[in-house]
Amino acid sequence: MQVLIPSEIINQTGMSEEEVLTEISVLFFQMNKLTLGKAAKLCRLHQFQFQKVLASRKIPLHYDKEDLEQDLISLQRL
């Protein structure tokens, strides 16, 4: 599915298309509607670049004890 945002709406925000996509991506990430990878993809950034955007806004990554435990299991398998 594609969502079309009319140019006049984009222009009214005073932001570029890339900035609007970034804002939407950050919002969806904060709301736990998108993962880090999907949010980065939506705004056409590499995950590391998107992490920098989040860090600049002091938005924490969604990483809890369960994620850490899964990562530790994955590392042990290597």
Q: Could you tell me if residue 53 is inside a domain?
A: yes
Residue 2 inside a domain? The answer is no
Q: What is the DSSP string of the chain?
A: ---PPPHHHHHHHT--HHHHHHHHHHHHHHTTSS-HHHHHHHTT--HHHHHHHHHHTTPPP---HHHHHHHHHHHHH-
Q: What is the domain count for the chain?
A: 1
Reported pTM: 0.77
**Is residue 1 assigned to a domain?**
no
pLDDT for the residue numbered 30: 96
Q: Provide the residue range defining the domain that includes 35.
A: 7-77
User: pLDDT digits over 31-76, tens only?
Assistant: 999 989 999 999 999 999 999 999 999 998 877 777 778 888 888 9
